Amino acid sequence: MEVKIPFFSMFLEYLLRKFKSWLNRRNQVETERQKQQDEAEIVQEEGKLAKESDDAANEIDHILH
């Protein structure tokens, strides 16, 4: 019995490390996916802001000239 415990615990440790590595990989993929989604949203907002701001500025400049 005393001889078997180290093998069993090593196997458990191996399984835990494998599980943790799988969780980390999953988190890295999710973080990258989230980053791309955030960036896409920010870029989309910029497009709307740029158009709206330029139109407003041009109207004001047009009133002045």
Residues that bind another protein (CB under 8 A): 1, 5, 8-9, 12-13, 16-17, 20, 23-24, 26-28, 30-31, 34-35, 38-39, 41-43, 45-60, 63-64
- Integer Cα distance of 23 and 35 in angstroms: 18
| Length reported for the chain | 65
Least distance to another protein from the beta carbon of 31, Å? 5
Q: Which of 38, 29, 6, 34 is nearest to 21 (CA)?
A: 29
Q: How many CA atoms lie within 13 A of 19 on its CB side?
A: 6
Residue placing its CB nearer to another protein in the complex, 3 or 43: 43
Least distance to another protein from the beta carbon of 40, Å? 10
